[in-house]
Chains A and B, each alone.
Chain A
């Protein structure tokens, strides 16, 4: 019964999406891919697959921002969460020679950074930007200080080919030959979307992010909600950190997260604080990077490497410059909430 409803909700969502004006963009993208595929199938598949690979961590990190800001807490500490969890994920996995322990450690340490942020902003009512900066500085400092060279992972998470689905041309290679965290992360993004717009939790969360006293006067504990959401978001950030080190790269270095936590904030804004919107925005970012890479590999254009590496940051600036003033986030994000003003 429940499963049916979930499926119903997803189908409903997809059909309305197909009927909307946005569907035009969808068809354009499909046609463009089909055209590129007919011209050069190998490169097209490679670009599409890398778009997901590059985009997914950004999308997952953006979910951290969305969950927090929707509850009224601006989280600029995502970068610190990614760094901390990648660090713990890597070293726990390396020391125990067990990827699962690493994964759990990454998630737990991510949740702890969330707890720290919640403590600073919700209980101590510290300015949220300063609190996020504290998380980032602590993460950078501690992970650099305790970093040791000479450790390595037993392996990275293997790719799982989903029987049947992975044989579909194009789609199979792009979506159904990925690692476990990729599948899990993608599913969680859709779950978050459905939860945000179709469950009581989502309704309450959004109400708190817009106007906390509306929730408080409805008998909802704003403080409790903020704590729970910020900690869950931290855990989600931890999963992202685990993806980066245990599934994608397989190693850890100082400053490993390389600004992804900040790019994620741009993606959150670009995606209008909507999980699916942010996923699409992240795939777009991933696509830009994958395309540039592929063009270089194919020798079609001679872009110097540093420029390709610059791409996500340049895109971030462009996106933020264009969306500034046009999009509106949760109204109460960034404001400390004082109960007695209710």
Chain B
């Protein structure tokens, strides 16, 4: 097969960080290449250089043998390259269709032909099995659907090379399987594909070739035939990684979080949570399994005081919490790792050290009266950056300069470093590399062992099953079953999630 993409000796640094260090690799027609590496290894930077969003300091990029001018996205798109970005590039106040056609609008004379575009989106959505409503506004959609929009946008043009930067981080297992099929089909038709993912199972299922990056350098190339998941993990982290969760037995105590008859509406004013009762005891991990979009997000937001509770109440250690007062809920001892870290977890334009004290900035030791105690803030940052292995040049750097997985670590470090009775962890390992997943899982378990009640919401069924002590299955806004995780049957839970069994 002919070579489609050639990357030759690309180097890119941001200040003193060398994100890409003399990287070369190739993609042939119809070939699926997986890029693998820890958070901050430089994967996104590399594909952004290919797509013309980042101007490499050195090196050359050829598509179909033609050298690309650095930083010319329009030319790259014109040569048939599509990209699904790690952080969504969608305009929240615009419709799905408008976002998909942006930059390549079907026209009717001078005017954009919205009808035709909507029809095309509908067809695409059917063809690739990615369900979306073409007229919905992006800001009303759950992240999983937004991800589908991103993917449809990349597929909407006649592409020869497709780049996926963590496309499955927010997809359900079924959607992921479908996407894998879509990608394989495209490769069959001769499209070259670059996939970045932290899920080793997907790498094994998809890739023809795996290129492993560490600290900005290519440390090895392999194929799924020559290795296994453990081998891949070892290659990227440089040590062996325990892929299974090791935890002792739980010692549940008194209930710390009680939810009674909770009803919540979503952004479109539909009833998303339809009367949920649950109880999380101290010293246990209570998992909520469910296909995304079945009310988990609204449930979590209502518990945390970020969304109006239409009915019902939320008690922390027996005391009722105030509705719509996230700060008061936090004061009551609830820590929250939000699902959408960009929107609710971080202030990108603040430094990492400020992000690490976002909800404690007014408390000792970070404040002394009216003034901030910069010494303590810095000390706290140094400590947490080290403890949580946040890869950055300096704690004073802006949060926006961090790689996706490292942003997640900042949120987790902040929430776990406080005095907490309840920890609400929504998709805590989304977009995080295997080494860090191992670390985060250990942290959640140690929070449990220190007496916190942990409410874990995750789209990863395996994560729920291996971490939780009890599992609630949520479907269509209701908790349909609560089961003990010991000996839990994956298929049974899957059927409950789909609303099949009662």
Chain A residues with a Cβ under 8 A of chain B: 1-2, 5-6, 9, 194, 198-200, 203-204, 206-207, 210-211, 213-221, 331, 339-342
Contacts and interface: CB of A to CB of B under 8 A. Distances in A.
Given A198-B112, A217-B85, A217-B89, 11 more contacts: A5-B108, A200-B105, A203-B101, A203-B105, A203-B112, A213-B89, A217-B73, A218-B102, A219-B77, A219-B78, A339-B53
A21 B502 CA distance: 45
A90 B51 CA distance: 51
B111 A198 contact: yes
A26 to B, nearest CB: 25
A215 B103 contact: yes
A215 B109 CA distance: 22
A341 B83 contact: no
A5 B111 contact: yes
Nearest to A213: B89
A331 B103 CA distance: 19
A200 B91 contact: no
A5 B112 CA distance: 11
A211 B104 contact: no
Contact of B104 (A1, A2, A210, A218): A218
Nearest to B106: A200
Contact of A215 (B76, B102, B107, B400): B102
Contacts of B319: none
Given A215-B102, A217-B73, A221-B74, A207 B91 contact: yes
A133 to B, nearest CB: 23
B152 interface: no
Contact of A200 (B53, B78, B93, B112): B112
A211 B109 contact: no
B110 interface: yes
B274 interface: no
A339 B55 CA distance: 10
Nearest to B93: A210
A200 B74 CA distance: 16
Nearest to A214: B89
B166 interface: no
A44 B76 CA distance: 61
Contacts of B76: 219
Contact of B73 (A5, A198, A216): A216
10 contacts: A2-B110, A5-B108, A207-B94, A210-B94, A214-B99, A219-B104, A220-B103, A221-B74, A340-B54, A342-B54
A211 B139 CA distance: 13
A7 to B, nearest CB: 12
A217 B83 contact: yes
B289 interface: no
A331 B94 CA distance: 12
Contacts of B112: 198-200, 203
B102 A204 contact: yes
Interface of B: 14, 48, 51, 53-55, 71, 73-74, 76-78, 83, 85, 89-94, 98-99, 101-105, 107-112, 400
Among A1, A199, A218, A340, chain B packs the most CB atoms within 10 A around the CB of A218
Nearest to A335: B349
A194 B98 CA distance: 16
DSSP majority for the A interface?
helix
Contact of A341 (B92, B98, B109, B400): B400
Contact of A199 (B78, B85, B111): B111
A215 B91 CA distance: 9
Contacts of A218: 77, 89, 102-104
B90 A211 contact: yes
Contacts of A203: 94, 98, 101-102, 105, 112
A219 B102 CA distance: 9
Contacts of B92: 210-211, 331
A141 B111 CA distance: 43
Nearest to A220: B103
Contacts of B78: 219
A53 B244 CA distance: 76
Contacts of B107: 200
A206 B91 contact: yes
Nearest to A202: B112
A75 to B, nearest CB: 21
Contacts of A342: 48, 53-54
Contacts of B71: 339
Nearest to A3: B109
Nearest to B90: A214
Contact of B94 (A206, A216, A217): A206
Contacts of A340: 14, 54-55
Nearest to B110: A199
A63 B347 CA distance: 33
B347 to A, nearest CB: 14
A219 B74 contact: yes
B109 A2 contact: yes
A210 B91 contact: yes
B99 A1 contact: no
Nearest to B12: A340
Among A198, A200, A216, A331, chain B packs the most CB atoms within 10 A around the CB of A200
Contact of A216 (B53, B55, B108, B111): B53
A274 B142 CA distance: 28
A234 B107 CA distance: 28
A219 B91 contact: no
A220 B74 contact: yes
Among A6, A206, A210, A340, chain B packs the most CB atoms within 10 A around the CB of A340
